[in-house]
Structure 1
Amino acid sequence: MATGEQAYLDLCRTVLETGSKKEDRTNTGTLSVFGHQMRFDLSQGFPLLTTKRVPFRLIASELLWFIKGDTNIQYLLKYNNNIWNEWAFKQWVESEAYSGPDMTDFGNRSQTDAQFHELYSIEMEKFKEKIVNDDAFAEKYGNLGSVYGQQWRAWKTSQGETIDQLKQVIESIKVNPDSRRHMVTAWNPEDVPSNMALPPCHTMFQFYVAEGKLSCQLYQRSGDVFLGVPFNIASYALLTHLIAHECNLEVGEFIHTLGDAHIYSNHIEQVNTQLNRTPMNFPTLKLNQSITSIFDFEMEDMEIVNYESHSAIKAPVAV
């Protein structure tokens, strides 16, 4: 089985060469394979892809957002992180309070209609400004519902209480490292149909301790191979580093198991561009050693060192 960046590039080739054509909820269309696994040895470098530039600050700020249990994009926008904007914006433009231009199917229309794209960009900027500066507006339209942060930190029970899964799993790793129950799940069947802007794609993860090293395996039900999966790889690698740091362990492997791994039809050209590039060495991650709890880390406490990559490759987000 391929490791390092080659594992990701092989996934891209597998989907392009063997994927089945499938329709999807965004009406974009995909090539898709079912069931794929990649392994990354975290002791050999931090898996931030080099065949295209991947912005670490976006990955880190999103992960801190999850760790804090936050579900409102206001926090992300204050760090100039726009990766969840479209889902909140969709809620806003579909609400009765919205009275601006018709934004139906804005994700696809903004890619094919230059005049509409300009209109959409104006409306999105106005929306973002209101989210950042108007707390009441942000509370109503910036909240994405019971997405990752809430499920990780405040899972609802049938008794009306909450479970802090992330805190519990860290404590479990410390006191009973050989346990086979170091698990966190974001897939809550009660919340999926009605209380989430986007049902969780990375649905559950498990930690494993052996020989003083912490490994993590993620099960991801649905993976946007070009745009999403590179972020997921780096995000869970970072989470593994942070928890290993708190638990006084070294890092082991990140194992990424995918259910429906797909490339959107409007990403195929970009994927081929990436596959024609030569990978470089992975960078390293530097953490502030004075921080002892994962819940105390801030952006300035994490740094990527010696990151060299090819240029970024842009592609539209399917919403």
Structure 2
Amino acid sequence: MSKNEQQYLDLCRYILEEGRRKEDRTGTGTISIFGYQMRFDLQEGFPLLTTKRIPFRLIVSELLWFLKGDTNLRYLLQHNNHIWDEWGFQKWVESAEYNGPDMTDFGIRSQQDEEFNKVYQEQLAIYQEKVLQDDDFAQKFGDLGNVYGKQWRSWEGADGEVYDQIQYIIDEIKRNPDSRRLLCNAWSASEIKNQQLPPCHYAFQFYVANGKLSCMFNMRSNDVFLGLPFNIASYALLTHLIAHECGLEVGELIYTGADVHIYSNHIEQVEKQLLREPRELPSLKLNEQVKSVFDFSMNDIELVGYHPHGPIKAPVAV
């Protein structure tokens, strides 16, 4: 049994047994704990859950989107990635330019009302097509504000300068691998009002020892059932990509979460997942011909030996 996956399952059990009921911004309600850490040995295998199928290509396209410094949904939609759609859709339906059916609290209503869900899906499809085809619309309503890509690649400092935090980390690893400043921060107090969703994984730091690259990422808020499996795999992939460019092996991935929660409408799904036995972890294969983190495409990243249990669907809280 994979220790990497077992500790995630142990976290789920711990929240169900010890967590506190809390209300939240979405109105859904959670079972929550405060403060938790897990350590994943990346030499053991790529930490993608096997107790339910996780769509790895969505993780890849989202990370490449971040690394491009992009904040517009068009790139994701072009790669059939819809994990951010609801936040862009919310921006449109709450604007003065929207004149369709009432979409107030669409996230909750679409789960509770089958007829409303049909109308919601129709409007969402219209939104997606507009982002893909209409440049003006995409600029207004496809852009999510100064979210991860902007902060990672174009951080604006109080001095008026723009900083590429990812490039800095790569350069610093190559020239000074013992540095304690291999840090990227996505949380900017002055930018929160300009972000459709403030960063949940707000900072990460790298560490080089014995020819291996390790990463610790920090989360202020974490949806354990839907979000955390993506977050773990995404930062594992980022660690592999940077290690690849810097000529290093991969070491540990360390997760530190603050408000770590299971949504009240995910409990049944979590309990179902906990009945499943973990399987052997897959491995990651990168195109050796690609030298720079920023030059990777979808076709340059391959998951090998992934044989999970079937998917378990659950609604996203918006």
Instruction: State the TM-score, normalizing by the size of structure 2.
Output: 0.99
Q: Match for 2:208: what amino acid? A: V
Q: Separation in 1 of the partners of 2:176 and 2:161?
A: 25
* Alignment partner, residue 250 of structure 2: 251
Taking the aligned partners of 1:204 and 1:12, their CA distance within structure 2 comes to 23
Flag as ranges the 4+ runs of structure 1 deviating above 4 A.
none
Aligned residue in 1 for 2:88 = 88
1-structure distance, mates of 2:311, 2:38:
22
- 2:191 is paired with a residue of what secondary structure? coil
Matched, 1:310 2:313: no
Separation in structure 2 between the aligned mates of residue 161 and residue 106 of structure 1, nearest angstrom: 40
User: Cα RMSD between the aligned structures?
Assistant: 0.8
1:221 and 2:220 are equivalent in the alignment: yes
1:149 equivalent in structure 2: 149
Other structure's SS at 2:43 match: helix
SS at match of 2:272: helix
Distance across 1 between alignment mates of 2:264 and 2:302: 35
- Partner of residue 233, structure 2: 234
Partner of 2:263: 264
Give the whole-Å Cα distance in 1 for the aligned partners of 2:58 and 2:102.
Answer: 30
- Find the aligned partners of 1:275 and 1:73 in 2 and give their Cα distance: 34
Letter in 2 for 1:98: Y
- Cα distance in 2 for partners of 1:96, 1:160 equals 33
SS in 2 for 1:34: strand
Distance between the aligned counterparts of 1:84 and 1:34, measured in 2? 26
- Displacement of 1:24 in angstroms is 0.3
Distance 1:259 1:308 in 2: 31
C-alpha separation in 2, matches of 1:312 and 1:3 = 21
Residue in 2 that maps onto 1:171: 171
CA contact (8 A) 1:43 1:251 kept: yes
In structure 2, how many angstroms separate the alpha carbons of the residues matched to 1:221 and 1:281? 30
| Contact 1:285–1:304 (CA under 8 A) maintained in structure 2 | yes
- Partner AA of 1:99 in structure 2: N
Alignment of 1:96-111 (within 5 A): 96-111=96-111
Q: Structure 2 counterpart of 1:213, which letter?
A: K
Offset of 1:135 from its aligned partner?
1.2
Instruction: Kindly indicate whether the alpha-carbon contact (under 8 Å) linking 1:31 and 1:265 is maintained by their aligned counterparts in 2.
Output: yes
Q: CA deviation at 1:159?
A: 2.9
Q: Which residue of structure 1 aligns with residue 124 of structure 2? A: 124
Query: Post-superposition shift, 1:157?
Result: 1.4
Does the aligned pair in 2 maintain the 1:72–1:142 contact within 8 Å? yes
* TM-fit CA distance, 1:232: 0.0
Q: Does 1:290 align with 2:289?
A: yes
| Counterparts of 2:39 and 2:216, CA distance in 1 | 9
Q: How does 1:271-286 map to 2 (within 5 A)?
A: 271-286=270-285
Q: Which range moved further: 238-247 or 7-16?
A: 7-16
Q: Is the 8 A contact 1:22 1:32 kept in 2?
A: yes
**Secondary structure of 1:245's aligned partner:** helix
Matched pairs, number: 317
Match of 2:68 in 1: 68
Q: Which amino acid aligns with 2:260?
A: A
Runs (5+) with no aligned partner, structure 1:
none
Identity level (%): 63
Structure 2 distance, partners of 1:158, 1:257, is 28
Q: Mark the runs of 5 or more structure 2 residues left unpaired by the alignment.
A: none
Measured in 1, the distance between the counterparts of 2:66 and 2:47 equals 20
Distance 2:210 2:160 in 1: 39
Pairing of 1:36-47 with structure 2 (within 5 A): 36-47=36-47
The answer as to 2:20 corresponding to 1:29 is: no
Q: TM-score, normalised by structure 1?
A: 0.99
